[in-house]
Amino acid sequence: MMGKSYKVIEVFFSRKAINASEFKTVNLDKIDTDGLMYFKDLVDDEIFQSNLEKLEKLSSTTGCQGELDLEMFLTSNDYVLNAENSSGSSANFGCSKRVFETLASPTKTIKNMLAAPSSPSSPANGGSIKIVQMTPVTSAMTTAKWLRDVISSLPDKPSSKLEEFLSSCDTDLTSDVVKRVSIILEAIFPTKSIDRGTSIGLNCANAFDIPWAEARKMEASKLYYRVLEAICRAESQNNNVNNLTPLLSNERFHRCLIACSAELVLATHKTVIMMFPAVLESTGLTAFDLSKIIENFVRHEETLPRELKRHLNSLEEQLLESMSWEKGSSLYNSLVVARPSLSTEINSLGLLAEPMPSLDGIVARQSIHPDGLPPTPSKRRPSAGPDGNCYPQSPKRSCTESRNSLVERNSQTPPPKQSQTGLSILKAKYHPLQATFASPTVSNPVSGNEKCAVVGVQIFFSKILKLAAIRIRNLCERLRHEELTVSVYNIFKQILDQQTALFFNRHVDQIILCCLYGVAKVSQLSLTFKEIVNNYKREPQCKPEVFRSIFVGSTNRNGVCIF
């Protein structure tokens, strides 16, 4: 396949392929060139745009001739749809873009989303569809150019402005931040060698792996410092935040930001040997932890390419639909505080997350595990909760807690505010990151009478509802029963608010399928569950395990029909 591609490029651009390992240029200085070919001057700044347009034209011509195009299978839903409506006016809809913007905008209401225009690709709509696709080649080139031009040129240490924020805290946190990012990124991109002289992690097989990992660590740290500074600037301008110490001393917040930065670097370099959720396992985070930072990361890194935004959107959907509901998720530690009535079932199923491993524990683990692979979350036995959070623990899990080497200094007394009630929908009210990442049992600095667990659960539930609204609408359109959309959504919303335990250890789509079938039965429609499942199989996010393996008891799993 690659050989044919090289030949096409040679003919089309009239350039001869050169072994990349034998050719030295600034464009290759941070790329593992083993097995790659290089085309001289092909991506130089002066002619990059014109060559890119030629490549797009070639791709378009190939598609028009009816030839099989691999990108149709690689890009999935990452395309922009341009459809002409009956009146002749055009409307542009980006499926993935719309989903991401919906999830990332807590101020948009569910009602607006349910009333949003249907996608032109919906089976309920007819008419011509013109697909303008971003090819895998241009996508990779765009993200690599962003990393090279925007991130690589940044300093490899906190800027003077960021140091100002860190030093203005109750205690100067600069050294803590630098030490932390070094430890966490070493856990994600291991570079040190053990006694027998082999490198740990990343399946290192040759001497090029260590320099590669060092380069990725550098890129991730630069991106982390950049976004951290942007968040500090934004939080400092918020009237509800008088002191950044609680946020900047929060271990979980920093690890999530570092993990997100590392994940984007891995995605840019298409690193298949460390696929998501490897960054969670390496950093001691859970899916619920990471779900708190994605929206803020995108908001504060304005230069982020569209392809990487789509990647984060895809990750956030995975976190919302199932990963955050799995056993060992820190979501359950927040639920037992925000919803005390659920604590009995959560404890009986052993769902609580164990305390996050300390930095010292991560350092020790790098030495203990020569293959560089950390133990799975279910087997991890950390010694302490380094962010100082007093999470309720399962009776079956006993561990001796000790102080972390970087102590979280969260002693600010929050000003009293009017309490906000109701967990079903997040109201249009700004919650600083300090409240999002604080211990579930700490009072909310915005409204002092409620716990921070309530804030975290509110935000998470609002995102679940928005994701569900989109999927319910799409499935109802596919079934040609759009009239069921609002009813199915209302049932789903009620279950999430009043029967939350039904989501434990389950996939959001499993609840949607059951809600749809229940509404169809009550409405006396001749719509079988088999029809619903068959149409669901055509949805882009469908996975066979959603309807083949569903949690029905403490140890049993069966098909969705049994559930």
Q: How confident is the model at residue 227 (pLDDT cuts 50, 70, 90)?
A: very high
Task: Tell me what pLDDT residue 548 has.
Answer: 75
Average pLDDT over residues 381-387: 39
Q: Half-sphere exposure of residue 462, counting CA atoms within 13 Å on the CB side?
A: 25
What are residue 451's DSSP bridge partners?
443
Is pLDDT of 291 > 60?
yes
Query: Which residues, in sequence order, are CB contacts of 59 under 8 Å at separation 6+?
Result: 69, 71, 133, 135
Q: How confident is the model at residue 116 (pLDDT cuts 50, 70, 90)?
A: very low
Q: How confident is the model at residue 552 (pLDDT cuts 50, 70, 90)?
A: low
Is pLDDT of 331 > 90?
yes
**Of 51-65, 192-206, 275-289, 427-441, minimum mean pLDDT range:** 192-206
Residue 89 CB neighbour total at 10 angstroms? 7
Shared fold status for 139-403 and 465-558: yes
Question: Are 185 and 258 spatial neighbours (Cβ–Cβ below 8 Å)?
Answer: yes
Residues in the chain: 563
Is pLDDT of 131 > 80?
no
Produce one character per residue of 266-288: b if its CB has 16 or more CB atoms within 10 Å, e if not: bbbbebeebebbbbbbbbbbbbb
**Of 89-103, 189-203, 299-313, 469-483, minimum mean pLDDT range:** 89-103
Average pLDDT over residues 473-494: 95
Task: Tell me what pLDDT residue 510 has.
Answer: 93
**Average confidence score pLDDT of the chain:** 74
Question: Are 63 and 55 spatial neighbours (Cβ–Cβ below 8 Å)?
Answer: no
Per residue in 36-83, pLDDT (tens digit) is: 777 776 766 667 777 777 776 666 555 444 443 434 333 334 333 333
Average pLDDT over residues 263-281: 87
Closest CA to 189 of 86, 262, 126, 293: 262
Is pLDDT of 90 > 50?
no
Average pLDDT over residues 230-234: 93
Average pLDDT over residues 157-161: 94
Q: Where are the chain's structural domains?
A: 2-69, 79-134, 139-403, 465-558
Task: Tell me what pLDDT residue 9 has.
Answer: 74
Is pLDDT of 519 > 70?
yes
Is pLDDT of 347 > 50?
yes
Task: Tell me what pLDDT residue 11 has.
Answer: 74
Is pLDDT of 14 > 70?
yes
Is pLDDT of 445 > 70?
no
Angle between helices 251-268 and 136-146 (to 10 degrees): 130
**Of 111-120, 229-238, 410-419, minimum mean pLDDT range:** 410-419
Domain 465-558 has CATH 1.20.1250.20: no
Q: How confident is the model at residue 390 (pLDDT cuts 50, 70, 90)?
A: very low
Task: Tell me what pLDDT residue 7 has.
Answer: 74
Per residue in 252-263, pLDDT (tens digit) is: 999 999 999 999
Average pLDDT over residues 290-313: 93
Task: Tell me what pLDDT residue 222 has.
Answer: 96
Question: Are 243 and 410 spatial neighbours (Cβ–Cβ below 8 Å)?
Answer: no
Answer yes or no: pTM beyond 0.75.
no
**Of 443-457, 466-480, 544-558, minimum mean pLDDT range:** 544-558
Q: How confident is the model at residue 405 (pLDDT cuts 50, 70, 90)?
A: very low
Average pLDDT over residues 460-480: 95
- The residue among 65 and 178 whose pLDDT is bigger is 178
Ramachandran assignment for 126, one of left (phi > 0), alpha (psi -120 to 50 degrees), beta (any other): beta
Alpha-carbon distance 70 to 136, whole Å?
Answer: 9
Per residue in 201-217, pLDDT (tens digit) is: 444 434 348 889 999 99
Task: Tell me what pLDDT residue 130 has.
Answer: 44
What are the backbone dihedrals phi and psi of residue 94, each rounded to the nearest 5 degrees, phi first? -105, 110
First vs last Cα of the chain: how many Å apart? Answer: 45
Domain 139-403 has CATH 1.10.472.10: yes
Is pLDDT of 24 > 80?
no
Task: Tell me what pLDDT residue 122 has.
Answer: 43
Please write down the HEC assignment for all residues of 426-488: CCCCCCCHHHHHCCCCCECCCCCCCEHHHHHHHHHHHHHHHHHHHHHHHHHHHCCCHHHHHHH
CA-CA-CA-CA dihedral for 215, 218, 219, 223, to nearest 10: 170
Task: Tell me what pLDDT residue 503 has.
Answer: 95
Task: Tell me what pLDDT residue 462 has.
Answer: 95
Is pLDDT of 434 > 90?
no
Task: Tell me what pLDDT residue 223 has.
Answer: 96
Q: Which helix (H) or strand (E) holds 258?
A: helix 251-268
Please write down the HEC assignment for all residues of 341-385: HHHHHHHHCCCCCCCCCCHHHHHHHHHHCCCCCCCCHHHCCCCCC
Residue 460 CB neighbour total at 10 angstroms? 23
Q: Output the six-digit token pair for 196.
A: 């027998």
Produce one character per residue of 4-17: b if its CB has 16 or more CB atoms within 10 Å, e if not: eeeeebeeebeeeb
Q: What does the angle CA 488 – CA 492 – CA 495 come to, to the nearest 5 degrees?
A: 140
Q: What does the angle CA 39 – CA 40 – CA 42 come to, to the nearest 5 degrees?
A: 75
